Every structure is written in structure tokens, then in C-alpha cells.
Amino acid sequence: MTATKVKREVKPKHIGLVRKDKYLEPYEEAIRGRHDHAVWKRDQLTKQGKITLEDFASGHDYYGLHKTARGWVFREWAPNATDIYLVGDFNNWQEVEPYRAKRVKDTDNWELKLPERAMKHGDLYKMRVHWNGGEGERIPAWTRRVVQDEKSKIFSAQVWNPPVPYVWKKKTFRPDKNPLLIYECHIGMAQDKEAVGTYTEFREKILPRIVADGYNCIQIMAIQEHPYYGSFGYHVSSFFAPSSRFGTPEELKELIDAAHQQGIAVIMDIVHSHAVKNELEGLGNLAGDPNQYFYPGDRHEHPAWDSLCFDYGKDDVLHFLLSNCKYWIREFHFDGFRFDGVTSMLYYSHGLGEAFTNYGDYFNGHEDDNAICYLTLANLLIHELNKNAITIAEEVSGMPGLAAKFEDGGFGFDYRMAMNIPDYWIKTIKEQKDEDWKPSSIFWEVKNRRADEKTISYCESHDQALVGDKTIIFRLIDADMYWHFKKGDENEVAHRGIALHKMIRLVTASTINGGYLNFMGNEFGHPEWIDFPREGNGWSYKYARRQWNLVDNHELCYHWLGDFDREMLRVLKSEKAIQKTKIQELWHNDGDQILAYERGDLIFVFNFSPNRSFTDYGFLVAPGSYEVVLNTDSKDFGGNGLADDSVVHFTVFDPAYVEEHKEWLKLYIPARSAVVLKKN
């Protein structure tokens, strides 16, 4: 008889992150520690695998107000409470015994069961919470509907049980990520009118524009209810309630459903990095304990944002936040999330005043392991719910592994924002003369990312459009936009701005390794900043809108930029999964300010020189013929039209490069222009 050999599992010498980046070797113990922490917490929450994370993240099905076959049931987690009443339209806002909740035995949960006649759809209500030494009216933490009274400006929860539930027309949907082209948007300010727009208006008026422009994903800001409109949705009060400013939950569902029917994925800008300080509307002091949801002591408040910081070390807080992720996916069919403020979550310092110049800065003991664990679990949960889901981290410090696979020791995000790129463009436009722009620096910056992590590249987002900052078009043209943006009236400043606006977008979008993002209106050079109604501007909506009339008016220059953006996306999508193709540099010359590179069958050529055009400028490429598929200098896009784009370009044989299978492609490249060619 021969002995049977037992195969032993051999663990790899290094965890995946380290195998792919040897410079992380000194920090492998920390990386493994973070990974093991997440595994341990997952196992604890799932009872060693007896349930799933999806099962665990079901708090919204238990807490809050629910209609049942026997009537109504209300539950709240409130450890510090001594008494809780529901008060509202149904009992004249008085504390009465039938509406008094009871503490569930041996728990920190409160429960109230009521007959069906006790309340009705549309009734306003709140909790009146008592605790040792105080009491107050509060909006329940898990409520799904919050409305504001127009006269008093007071927020209340609202009983929401429509007689006819929404029926989804598109029951299943799979996002197109080849590549992911994101249109970042805000429902309220998406309208031309000086008022708050609605979900319905967005579906009817804006969604068709997005579809026509070629984007395949919308990223919606400010969905979670927030008391102050001017916070842009980043000071959240009610995490499970879609903002009622824009309409009803059913109207939000109808918008998402319509987007899916037209092939558009919908992701939500989710805010789990902090919460509004408000006590009457938010979680700040729900039941007399300001630390119920938030860190105590010095870590309680965010020093820069005037907000409160979640205690990610508490299982009940994890339950709340993970359930929140599941709720938006299951109830509203969101396709994923862009997580806001991830840098703030990662570090005790919130990343404030830190340089992050070497790997040691990410592993020196100032990281919040609880927050890292939460973000990792959130990604595991979201992809357990939907394997095709999209998760994006807004993170500026450059933390390694953020968008790496969980099994490699990463956080599990699908993408991270390439936040270096808009900073680079701002700095370049502000500080360098046009003749000093270096193609080598531009090329390096737009490709500056970790090889094992996918990114979302962008020139500018909503951040650059806010009052106090400037969009790219405004940095380039400034006040001349008001006087020289009519066709035939353009001055040299306007011509320069139009040309560079297109070139900046093309070099950024064509070098993606994941996806590309644009904030609504920036594609056509929206001329004004964003300023929400506030005391300082007389509560005006003048700058809290998008002037679509400008791009629709073909007597103005805006449509040139919008038309170019549409064609640029069409060309990028013509190369199958362009984000996965190799970016091969063909040539750069900083003296000439010329850059050329290829991706698949596409060749991109840029001349950043403000005053020098070149004839018969040559690059070595694969032999064959090439046709122009996009030219920033085309008259269709407000250019000079100096080149004949109908000409097919044939390569020129050179015996010196026979073994390399290369020939010369020679082009006329006008100053301050870019051209894209496709191999036939």
C-alpha cells in the first residue's frame, strides 16, 4: 500500500497588495492586521457565517415605523431613554398612553404597536423622548420620510404608506462599465428656473440630455435628507429618508427606473463620514446621550466641518450604517455609491494638515482602524447584495489598497477618485504661462495612479464649481464669457479658453483606467459658480441652477463645447473597453509642446503650443492608413478648421524600422489643438 499524500494549504509569502508593490513590504504586518480585523468583525457580525452580512444589515426592516397586517409597529434604538412617546397629527401632538412605547426586555430597543386606525398615510409625527435630566422632540433615526413645513421651517417625520406601492418596470439592471462615464448631478439645482428642481423634472428634462450626451451613469448628490439646502447634501440628518425637497420616494424610484430603462446606471453620493450636529432634526442628541452614534471626547466633532463623527467601533453604529447601504440598494435600486469624505474617516486627524509624502505616512498609528473596518465591510456587503455594484472612494491622501480587492488586503472599492488631476489643472492654469505647459508633466499626471487600483478621472467636479473656487472655463476666460461668448464676437481670450477646455478634457478622459466624471453643465462650460440660497445672497436661487438655455442657443459658443463633449465620449466608446487598453506613448517633446500616444486602434495627438503649428510632424506607428475621428480644431467645435479632416493619412515606409514593424505617420498639427485618429 502507498500512503496518500495530504495536500497542505500553503499561504503565499506576501499578501496580494505587497506582492504587487514591494515597497509596501515594511508595512505588511499593518496591512494584514487591517484585513484580519475586518475578517474578525465580519465573522462576529455574521455569527461565524451562520448568517450573511446581508442578513445582518437589515435594521431598516426592524426599526422605524412599519405597516403590518395587524396595524403599525414602531421601534427605536435609544439606550439612554427613560420614556418615548409618538406625538403627531394623530394625537394632537400630545403625550398620551396609547402612543407610549415600551422598552423591549433586556435590550436598548423601544417598541410601540398600534392599530391601523391609529395613524394614516401623510400624518406628521415625532418622538418625544425623556431621559434623566431632560426631554425633547426628536425625528426617529430610522424614519424614511421627513418633510419641512413651508411657514415654520420645522422638520417632521411623515407616515408614508402609499395606497399603491411603486411597481418597477426594469426589475434587473447591469451597469455598463466599459468605460464608466459618470454625470455628477444635483436634483435641486438641475433646473433652469430659479427654484428647487424635482425628481420628476429631472427625469423629464435632464435625463434625456444625459442619454443624448453619451454618459452611462449618473451620480446623484444630496439624496439623504439634510436640513440646510446650502450644505449641498453633506450635513445629513435623516439617513434613510430621500430628500422631500425634490419630491416623493416614488418619484425618486420612477427616476431611477427610467434611467435603467435607458441604460443609465444610478449611483448615490452617500455620506457616512459625518452627520449634522442638529439635535431637533438629526442624531446629535437623540435620547440625552450625545455619544450614542458618535465618538466621545476630542473625536466627537469634526474640527473643519462643524459636524459629528460616527463611532465606527460600535456594533450598533455599524448596524445602522450597513443597513443604510442595503436600504438604498434594495428599496431604491441604486447601483452603488460614491462614498464621500473617506480621507476624513481614515485618520484621527481627518487628514487635515498632513502631507502624505511616503508610505510610512499611511501606517504610523494615526489611522482609525474602526473606520477602515467599516469601509471594508461596506464594500463586502454592497457586492454581496449586487456583484455588479459600483463603489467609489472620494479620498485625497492616496491610501494604498483603497481600490484593491479585499482578498489582496484592500478595502474593496471598485474605484477611487483621481483627485490629483483637477488640482493639477487648477495649478497649471493659475501659475503657468501657456508656453510653459509641459506635455511630459501633463501625461505623467493624468496617469499618476497605482497600477492595481482603478480610478475615476476628472478635470473638475462640483468642488471646483462652488463659490470661492472657479471652474476651468472661468479660470480660462473669466468675465469675457459675459461679453465675448456670442458667435462672431469671440476675442482671443475666448478662443484660447474654448480650445484649452476641449484639450484638457480630451487628455484627461482618454487616459482613464476606470472611468471619467463630469459635473452637470461643465461639459458645455457653464458660466457661473454654484451659490445656494443663503442670508449673504438674499436667499437667491440665481446661482443654484443650471442654465440649459445657453447650450441650447446656437448663437452662443456654449453648444460647441457640449457638442465636442458628446463626440469625445462617442470616440472613446468606439474603442472596446478603452480603459483596459495599454496607453503607449509615441512621442513627447516639451520644447515643441507635442504629445502623442495610442490606445488600441486610436492615436491621440496634442499640440499645447499657443502659437506654433507644425507641418509633417511625424510619429512611428503600426503601418497602415488612419482617419481623423475627432479634431478639437474643427469648426463644428468652435475651432479654426485649419486641417482637412476628410484626408486619409497613410504611413510612410522607412527601411530603418522594418524589424520594428513601424512606419511614419506625418500630420499637420495646428497650434493649441488635438486630433484623434483611428487605424483602418
Give residue 8's pLDDT band: very low, low, confident or very high (50, 70, 90).
Answer: low
- On whether the CB atoms of residues 310 and 236 are closer than 8 A, the answer is no
Q: Give the pLDDT band of residue 11 (cuts 50, 70, 90).
A: low
Cα angle for residues 124, 129, 134 (degrees, 5° grid): 135
To which residue does cell 392599530 refer?
Answer: 115
Yes or no: say if 269 and 219 are a contact pair by the CB < 8 Å rule.
yes
Cell output for 599: 490606445
pLDDT band at 2 (very low <50, low <70, confident <90, very high): very low
Per-residue confidence band for 577, with pLDDT thresholds at 50, 70 and 90: very high
pLDDT the model gives residue 626: 98
Cα angle vertex 299, ends 293, 300, to 5°? 45
Let me know if 492 is exposed, middle or buried by CB neighbors in 10 A (0-12, 13-18, 19+). exposed
List, for residues 364-419, the tens digit of each pLDDT value: 999 999 999 999 999 999 999 999 999 999 999 999 999 999 999 999 999 999 99
Give me the residues paired with residue 455 across strands: 416
Handedness of CA 627, 629, 630, 635 (dihedral sign): positive
* pLDDT at site 10: 52
Compute the average pLDDT of residues 504-528: 97
Instruction: Render pLDDT for 137-179 as a digit per residue (tens, 0 to 9).
Output: 999 999 999 999 999 999 999 999 999 999 999 999 999 999 9
| Burial group, residue 369, by CB count within 10 angstroms (0-12, 13-18, 19+) | middle
Instruction: Report whether pLDDT(9) > 70.
Output: no
Mean pLDDT across the chain, nearest whole number?
Answer: 96
Identify the pLDDT of residue 467.
82
Task: Identify the pLDDT of residue 448.
Answer: 97
- pLDDT per residue as tens digits for the range 241-259: 999 999 999 999 999 999 9
DSSP, res 4: P
Q: Given this model, what pLDDT does residue 13 score? A: 77
Taking the C-alpha atoms of residue 502 and residue 292, their distance in angstroms, rounded to an integer, is: 50
Contact 289, 79 (CB under 8 A): yes
The per-residue pLDDT for range 219-233, each reduced to its tens digit, is: 999 999 999 999 999
- When mean pLDDT is compared across 12-16, 134-138, 640-644, the lowest value belongs to 12-16
Output the CA–CA distances (angstroms, integers) from residue 432 to 461, 571, 671, in the order listed.
22, 30, 17
What is the grid cell recorded at 552?
A: 441650447
Q: What are residue 20's DSSP bridge partners?
A: none
pTM to 2 decimals? 0.96
Confidence of residue 1 (pLDDT cuts 50, 70, 90): very low
Cell of 180: 464608466
Would you say residue 52 has pLDDT above 50?
yes
Mean pLDDT of all residues in 274-288: 97
CA distance 466 to 460: 11
Picking from 435, 457, 433, the residue whose alpha carbon sits closest to that of residue 446 is 457
| Nine-digit cell string for 375 | 469601509
Residues belonging to the active site: 340, 394
Q: What is the pLDDT of residue 6?
A: 47
Q: Are 130 and 81 in contact (CB under 8 A)?
A: yes
Task: Evaluate if residue 465 carries a pLDDT over 90.
Answer: no
- What is the reported pLDDT for 657? 95
pLDDT in tens, 337-365: 999 999 999 999 999 999 999 999 999 99
Please name the residues in contact with 293: beta carbons below 8 A apart, sequence gap of 6 or more. 141, 275, 283, 286, 308, 310, 311, 314, 317, 320
| pLDDT(322) > 60 | yes
Both ends of the chain: CA-CA distance in Å?
A: 66
Conformation bin of residue 659: beta by default, left when phi > 0, alpha when psi is -120 to 50: alpha
